């Protein structure tokens, strides 16, 4: 019996604001900036990279290069992309156990 594996693309499942917020929140809990950049890239892909490029004022090719695990984008770049996606950061005190 042969098993067939397909490529999973999370961006295909990020089709509403609630799912996107939950996805980003779970990624932030991992405390991994590389993973966060990749997750923002998944959201940009789900919403349309060209649209995000236009809304953020950044080039489409630049976004593809920047929003992956191998890149270390500047914080202002991340903020421009989030603003272009109508996503805002909120900070809350860390919960103590």
Average pLDDT for the chain: 88
Any domain includes 95: no
Tell me if 85 sits within 8 A of 52, measured CB to CB: yes
Any domain includes 55: yes
Any domain includes 21: yes
Any domain includes 51: yes
pLDDT grade, residue 93 (50/70/90)? confident
User: 72 burial class (0-12, 13-18, 19+ CB within 10 angstroms)?
Assistant: exposed
CB atoms within 10 A of CB 64: 15
Any domain includes 11: no
Any domain includes 97: no
Tally the domains of the chain: 1
Any domain includes 76: yes
Residues 6+ apart with CB under 8 A from 44: 52, 63, 67, 81, 85
Angle, alpha carbons 92-56-33 (nearest 5°): 45
Average pLDDT over residues 9-30: 90
Any domain includes 39: yes
Domain limits for position 47: 16-84
Q: Which tens digit of pLDDT belongs to each residue from 43-90?
A: 999 999 999 999 999 999 999 998 887 888 999 999 999 999 999 888
């Amino acid at each position: 019996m042969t098993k067939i594996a397909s490529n999973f693309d999370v961006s295909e499942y990020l089709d509403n604001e609630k799912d996107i917020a939950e996805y980003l929140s779970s990624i932030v809990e991992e405390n991994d900036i590389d993973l966060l950049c990749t997750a923002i890239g998944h959201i940009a892909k789900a919403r349309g990279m060209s649209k995000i490029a236009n809304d953020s004022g950044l080039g489409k090719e630049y976004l593809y290069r920047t929003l992956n695990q191998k890149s270390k984008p500047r914080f202002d770049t991340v903020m421009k992309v989030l603003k272009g996606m109508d996503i805002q950061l909120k900070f809350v005190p860390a919960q103590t156990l």
